Structure 1
Amino acid sequence: MKFAMIFPGQGIQRIDILFELSKSFPMIRNTFDEASNYINYNLWEYISKNHKNNLTNNKYTPALILTSSVSLYYIWKKKIKKNLIWWQVIV
């Protein structure tokens, strides 16, 4: 059986669901820490302070979208390995 995952694009505006997920899945924060080290900017701190605001008009939006997508992929991959299918929709 083959699986596919579709990631959100530039239209993502709410990222606050990651805060709830990060309580159960530390890999989310780890992914943000890794990305932040790479670009030399603390993405987690930025979304912590601005998660209620529209994130589409920011120079860090592409990094936020990619990092969010990668962290969700890691969760999805971990769940698939446990023979569970997990879907998360970000609106």
Structure 2
Amino acid sequence: MAAGTVRIMKKPRRNLWLFAAAIAIVVGAIVAPAPADADPNVTAYPGMEIHQGDAACMVGFVEPELRIALTSGRCDVDPIVTDSRARVIGP
């Protein structure tokens, strides 16, 4: 480029970004699994055996107010979490 030459860069196309965002939202809505209905009578507790698909893990910590449980092992293969009696605990 010669000295003193000004190069003008093109602005990104807004319509292309909007189209890409719309496609991402539609694909996300189609691919996302439906949430499972958890059994309200099942309570997770530390030491409890849980299952996700073919994987079995143990609950290590439970935070009841946030409704989360931390597990040991590799228990993230299926979005549906069940107890040892196949009752759904949650997604």
Fold similarity call, TM over 0.5: no
Higher strand share: 2
TM-score interval for Structure 1 and Structure 2 normalised by the shorter chain: under 0.3
Higher relative contact order (CA 8 A, sep 6+): 1
Structure showing greater Rg: 2
TM-score, normalization by structure 1: 0.22
